[in-house]
Structure 1
Amino acid sequence: MSRRYLVWSLCYAALGMGLGIYMAASHEHGQLVTHAHVLLVGFVLSLVYGVIHRLWLDAPRRALAMTQFVLHQLSAIVLLAGLFLLYGGKAGEETLEPLLGIGSIGVLLGMLLMLYMVVRAGSSRSAEPGAASRAAV
């Protein structure tokens, strides 16, 4: 899962940087909020999730980890598409509110699933023999 998150995070980074370069070149900064969300929700959060998988989640339940991954990516895409349409003037706020709400809640639920996996992994590690000596390192 860490590699999947890494690849997706780098895609979001390229997209966010591309949008930033476009805004700078065109002197049109209307997508600033979208740009920030692509980089934070897309790039940074996906990268953080990848690091968590690499460093703290030895063997999460595959179905749970995949659910969290898909939920985060789909929700991020929905949120970012909604912001792009909103700040691009393609649709009104009243039309996009449900889309933005679904995306936002999905990102939050993805975070809560990651929190659950981290807490679950931490409690299972503390129950393992020799966990006290590993925790001190």
Structure 2
Amino acid sequence: MNFDRKYLVWALGYLIVGMGLGLYMAASKNHAQLVTHAHILMVGFAVSFIYGIIHRLWLKQPGKTLATIQFALHQAAAFAMCTGLLLLYGGVLPESTLTPLLGAGSLGVWLAALLMIWLVRQSGRTTSAALR
């Protein structure tokens, strides 16, 4: 499976979870998970979807190892962040307990974004070198 398709599948998974949480909040009239809902949809769905578009349109043949690391890092970090927020705003665990998980998730999402920038820059260099 190509990275564009992997990102699309994961993005749609996050979309279903995020919308499900939104429906639950609306039905229960309990909006305590609003922050979690927003992160699932933005970091999980939107960012994964955008990364899929980038792979489809600009990264025809990215370095497989680096692209795999970037993909795995983003998905693991997004999942960790969203899980931590769900536990925090659900009142399951205190913030002091979840801070390491939330910090690692946030840092991982940021590092994955930096890796995506690297992949895009490298792809541009490869393309321009091939045109010479």
Q: Which residue of 2 aligns with 1:81?
A: 83
Q: Secondary structure at the match of 2:54?
A: helix
Q: Which residue of 2 aligns with 1:13?
A: 15
Q: What is the CA–CA distance in structure 1 between the aligned matches of 2:28 and 2:68, rounded to whole Å?
A: 39
- Show structure 2 runs of 5+ residues with no match: none
Query: Following TM superposition, by how much is the alpha carbon of 1:126 offset from its aligned partner in structure 2, in angstroms?
Result: 1.6
Q: Which residue of 1 aligns with 2:49?
A: 47
Runs of 4+ in 1 over 3 A off after TM superposition: none
RMSD: 0.8
Q: Which residue of 1 aligns with 2:61?
A: 59
User: TM-score, normalised to structure 1's length?
Assistant: 0.93
User: TM-score, normalised to structure 2's length?
Assistant: 0.96
1:26 aligns with 2:28: yes
Q: What is the CA–CA distance in structure 1 between the aligned matches of 2:104 and 2:84, rounded to whole Å?
A: 10
Query: Following TM superposition, by how much is the alpha carbon of 1:129 offset from its aligned partner in structure 2, in angstroms?
Result: 2.1
Q: What is the CA–CA distance in structure 1 between the aligned matches of 2:105 and 2:130, rounded to whole Å?
A: 38
Q: Which residue of 1 aligns with 2:127?
A: 125
Q: Which residue of 2 aligns with 1:36?
A: 38
Which structure has the larger Rg? 1
